[in-house]
């Protein structure tokens, strides 16, 4: 795969290569691509530091080879700079309207409380408490059956599979409360893709409080947050009984994502950094042996 990537870079003679995450892309490959005269930018959608499960041994060495490294957390950006990454930029996730289309018919909610996403132990603990007090429905992989505790109420909440794209968008728009329980790797100041997808579809999240989310979607105006099980249950109860207020907040949240938080905006940000700071990304002198192994 690394040899194919290097060969593609040699054939294309691109000015800029943008790599998403970079799993299995070796630092030597990035150095070789840069030696062709191509600038290399990397956007990393997970946490590249151990002990988080998505982190791989090549992530940090490859980050040091990139001309610019984009990450969704300001705290991680600082940490990456201390780890020797030459140029780091904060770049949060965004909304893709083609994948999660806006739903105009939101007048009559079908679901009370929903969660769409994968299982982990932190999510299980919180959602089990929610399920004991409110009618909760879960869409996600079968881990919600195979990894939850045998007596967990969540086994009865699982809807038999995952929901993606347009199906997920309809569920989101037809729900009174859409929970977004951030993983530990996204805290304390990060966001995830659902942060933007839910308002893109036409609703708001009840989400784990994080500085990254509250900066973009102010609390009480375009989103709701919790920082404990107790506060989560309180906010669920409020949202279930305040449909009009929730819809007003959802309208403002949708304007926010549509105005400046789509992936078109993020792509433009990447290009702006490339064009306005090109002097920072001068690659090594091109090698004469461009077909060699990375």
- Pick the most confident of 95-109, 250-264, 275-289: 250-264
Q: Where are the domains of the chain?
A: 2-94+263-281, 111-260
Interhelix angle 193-201/243-260, rounded to 10 degrees, is 110
Specify the fold of 111-260: Rossmann fold (3.40.50)
User: Which of these ranges, 92-96, 102-106, 137-141, 145-149, has the smallest mean pLDDT?
Assistant: 102-106
Do 2-94+263-281 and 111-260 fold alike per CATH?
A: yes
Domain 2-94+263-281: give its CATH superfamily.
Glycogen Phosphorylase B; (3.40.50.2000)
pLDDT at position 104 is 82
Global pTM value: 0.91
Encode pLDDT of 71-105 as tens digits. Answer: 999 999 999 999 999 999 999 999 999 999 999 87
User: Under a CB-based contact definition with an 8 Å cutoff, are residues 148 and 120 in contact?
Assistant: no
Question: Closest Cα partner for 250 from 194, 199, 179, 174?
Answer: 199
**pLDDT for res 282:** 56
Angle at CA of residue 24, ends 18 and 29, nearest 5°: 60
């Amino acid at each position: 795969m690394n040899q194919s990537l290097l060969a593609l870079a040699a054939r294309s003679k691109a000015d800029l290569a943008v790599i998403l995450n970079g799993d299995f892309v070796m630092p030597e490959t990035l150095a070789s691509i840069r030696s062709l005269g191509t600038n290399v930018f990397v956007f990393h959608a997970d946490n590249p530091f151990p002990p988080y499960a998505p982190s791989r041994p090549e992530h940090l060495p490859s980050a040091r080879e990139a001309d610019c490294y984009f990450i969704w957390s300001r705290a991680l950006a600082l940490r990456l700079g201390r780890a020797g990454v030459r140029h780091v930029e904060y770049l949060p996730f965004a909304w893709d309207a083609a994948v999660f289309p806006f739903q105009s018919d939101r007048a009559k909610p079908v679901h009370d409380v929903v969660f769409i996403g994968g299982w982990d132990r932190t999510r299980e603990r919180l959602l089990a408490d929610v399920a004991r007090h409110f009618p909760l429905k879960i869409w996600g992989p079968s881990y919600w059956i195979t990894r939850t505790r045998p007596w967990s109420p969540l086994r009865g909440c699982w809807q038999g599979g995952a929901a993606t794209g347009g199906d997920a968008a309809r569920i989101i728009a037809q729900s009174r409360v859409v929970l977004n329980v951030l993983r530990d790797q996204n805290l304390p100041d990060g966001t995830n893709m659902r942060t933007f997808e839910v308002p893109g579809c036409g609703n708001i999240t009840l989400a784990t409080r994080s500085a990254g989310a509250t900066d973009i979607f102010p609390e009480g105006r375009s989103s709701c947050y919790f920082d404990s099980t107790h506060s989560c249950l309180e906010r669920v109860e409020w949202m279930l009984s305040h449909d009009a207020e929730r819809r007003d907040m959802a309208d403002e949240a949708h304007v926010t994502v549509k105005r400046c938080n789509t992936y078109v905006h993020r792509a433009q940000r990447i290009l702006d950094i490339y064009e306005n700071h090109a002097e920072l990304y001068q690659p090594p002198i091109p090698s004469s042996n461009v077909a060699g192994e990375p």
